Amino acid sequence: MDGSFNVAVIKDAIVRSRYQAAKLVNKELLSLYYAVGKYVADNSRSNWGQGAIALLSDSLQRELPGLRGFSESSLKKMRSFYEVWQPIFLNRPLPLDLSASEDRQLSTGDLENAINLGLLAHDIANFSNNFSINAFFSVGFSHHSEILAKEKSLEGRLFYISRCAAEFWTVDTLKSYLRGDLYNKTGLMPNNFLQTLPESEQANRAIRSFKDEYFLDFINIEDEIDPDERVFEQSIVANIKQFILSFGNKFCFIGNQYRVVVDEKEYFIDLLFFNRELRCLVAVELKRGDFKPSQLGQLFFYLSALDEYVRQPDEAPSIGIILCKEASRNTVEFAVRDYSKPMGVATYRTRNEMPEEWRKALPDLDDMKKLLNADASETNEGS
């Protein structure tokens, strides 16, 4: 065969084209939902009678058989989408006539026109130099609906939109972070990063990478009288994907009971990760009880061993985290300030320790097992 070809060039073009097409489709859908939301908001509050939204949904189904995404609950979410974001635009009319009218043609350009003409409120413009309107349009409507339902502050909503866009969160990932209150918890963990990491930017990134409390809803440990840290550790390892989801998707799991040797003696670190953004090893020591300042000495030793024998030349200094049941912020800050290795202390809650309303929202594990067993039995009978 004469000549040669590079399939990677065409593959890259296809992937980029599909990504751009997906973004354009999502942008068009958000604009449509914003316009429909405005139409419903303008009329359902005054002109329409009770049950009109349900009737509208049924009528759409009859007119467009097989239509999805326009149920009564979806139409209400579109109305909420419009009502939440419209006041964020400056307090002057949009360039189009948006007055409610039964025979007015819906304009799916209202949202884009408002944004493109610089009608965003001062709060968004100053929220973050990194916030991009492209992020707003690249996040799906399901993501937007979850954010609006679970996060009430503007800053928090923009935070989750930015993270969804930058890290390609699934809806389930977003729900987990919303449930764990990532926005309010991020950056609050007591630590000594600013004093111990050589670069201020690296220190600030490290501060943003950890929360002061983690909700491990996949773990349910009832025994509080004789807490067994190895049982706790094994529960995490058995659910390591969920644990990383709680910690953040920049963490890569290296292993548990990670072995380091110093002077021919073996020592074992509970959990060892690598953080791709920080480009450093992260040692996590698990404590089922309350934080004790003496625990930092052991962690300091592990970090010294990691930096000496495991850390690669191009990696940043290793970071240590103690994950414990309870910790006083003042005690932690006092305890870590004179250590020369970067360390912090975070707390955790397991499934049985969560608020009652949160537990009710989660599926019961025993019920899930019964359903799975029933499905398996039906499959075997039918085979």
CATH (domain of 267): 3.40.1350.10
> Does residue 112 share a domain with residue 228?
no
Residue 285 Rama label (left phi>0; alpha psi -120 to 50; beta):
beta
Amino acid 48: pLDDT? 80
Amino acid 376: pLDDT? 43
**Residue 26 is assigned to a structural domain of this protein:** yes
> Does residue 90 share a domain with residue 217?
no
Amino acid 356: pLDDT? 54
> Does residue 203 share a domain with residue 87?
no
Task: Round the average pLDDT of the chain to a whole number and report it.
Answer: 79
> Does residue 190 share a domain with residue 71?
no
Amino acid 35: pLDDT? 86
pLDDT in tens, 144-183: 999 999 999 888 898 899 888 877 888 988 998 898 788 8
Instruction: Give me the mean pLDDT over the 100-113 stretch.
Output: 52
pLDDT in tens, 19-62: 667 777 888 888 888 888 888 888 877 778 788 888 888 888 88
* Secondary structure in 3-state letters for the chain: CCCCCCHHHHHHHHHHHHHHHHHHHHHHHHHHHHHHHHHHHHHHCCCCCCCHHHHHHHHHHHHCCCCCCCCHHHHHHHHHHHHHHHHHECCCCCCCCCCCCCCCCCCCCHHHHHHHCCCECHHHHHHCCCCCHHHHHHCCHHHHHHHHHHCCCHHHHHHHHHHHHHHCCCHHHHHHHHHCCHHHHECCCCECHHHHCCCHHHHHHHHHHCECEEEECCCCCCCCCCCCHHHHHHHHHHCHHHHHHHHCCCEEEEEEEEEEEECCEEEEEEEEEEECCCCEEEEEEEEEEECCCCHHHHHHHHHHHHHHHCCCCCCCCCEEEEEEEECCHHHHHHHHCCCCCCEEEEEEEEHHHCCHHHHHHCCCHHHHHHHHHHHHHHHHHHC
Lowest mean pLDDT among 5-14, 338-347, 374-383: 374-383
Confidence of residue 86 (pLDDT cuts 50, 70, 90): confident
**Most confident by average pLDDT, 4-8, 165-169, 305-309:** 305-309
Question: For the chain, what percent of residues have pLDDT higher than 90?
Answer: 37
Of the candidates 358, 302, 324, the one whose C-alpha atom is nearest the C-alpha of residue 232 is: 324
CA distance 161 to 201: 23
**Residue 310 is assigned to a structural domain of this protein:** yes
**Residue 11 is assigned to a structural domain of this protein:** yes
**Residue 249 is assigned to a structural domain of this protein:** yes
> Does residue 111 share a domain with residue 18?
yes
**Residue 51 is assigned to a structural domain of this protein:** yes
pLDDT in tens, 217-271: 788 765 554 557 888 899 899 999 889 888 887 899 999 999 999 999 999 999 9
Pairwise pLDDT comparison (112 vs 184), residue with the higher score? 184
- Whether pLDDT at 94 is above 60: no
> Does residue 320 share a domain with residue 207?
yes
pLDDT in tens, 188-199: 899 999 999 988
Number of domains the chain contains? 2
Pairwise pLDDT comparison (201 vs 186), residue with the higher score? 201
Query: For residues 272 and 255, is the Cβ–Cβ distance under 8 A?
Result: yes
- Whether pLDDT at 6 is above 90: no
296-to-44, 159, 202, 291, 337 alpha-carbon distances in Å = 60, 32, 22, 9, 11
Lowest mean pLDDT among 13-17, 114-118, 314-318, 337-341: 114-118
Amino acid 260: pLDDT? 96
Question: What number of other Cβ atoms are within 10 A of residue 188's Cβ?
Answer: 14
- Whether pLDDT at 367 is above 70: no
Amino acid 113: pLDDT? 58
State which residues form the domain around 350: 185-361
> Does residue 204 share a domain with residue 115?
no
